[in-house]
């Protein structure tokens, strides 16, 4: 993974711990994923690698249109750390 990526991963994990919800994240280009990764969220790390996670609230908070309400997602489950474009 490399030292730079490891440092960014540690920082993003600290950001997740400190945020009141996923929408509270501001660093790492936080963004919901689309296509076959719908329902997942990603934070950029280093060299194309991403920290990818999903909401772990029970029940998962949803908007009226059925999409995840990330402003209400207060718990996450990490799915993987890698470049999902490979």
Strand order of the sheet with strand 76-82? Answer: 31-32, 40-44, 50-55, 76-82
pTM: 0.90
Give the span between the Cα atoms of 68 and 49, in whole angstroms.
Answer: 23
Domain layout of the chain by residue ranges: 3-82
- Which residue, 41, 13, 40, is CA-closest to 29? 41
pLDDT tens by residue, 19-68: 999 999 999 999 999 999 999 999 999 999 999 999 999 999 999 999 99
User: Which DSSP state fits 71?
Assistant: T
Tokens of 2: 């490399």
* Residue 66: alpha-carbon gap to chain centroid: 19
Which CATH architecture is the domain 3-82 placed in? 2-Layer Sandwich (3.30)
């Amino acid at each position: 993974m490399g030292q730079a990526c490891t440092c960014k991963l540690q920082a993003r994990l600290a950001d997740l711990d400190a945020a009141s919800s996923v929408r509270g994240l501001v660093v790492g280009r936080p963004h919901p994923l689309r296509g076959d990764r719908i329902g997942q969220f990603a934070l950029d790390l280093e060299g194309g690698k991403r920290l990818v996670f999903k909401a772990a609230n029970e029940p998962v908070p949803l908007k009226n249109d059925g999409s995840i309400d990330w402003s209400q997602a207060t718990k996450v489950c990490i799915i993987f750390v890698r470049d999902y474009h490979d």
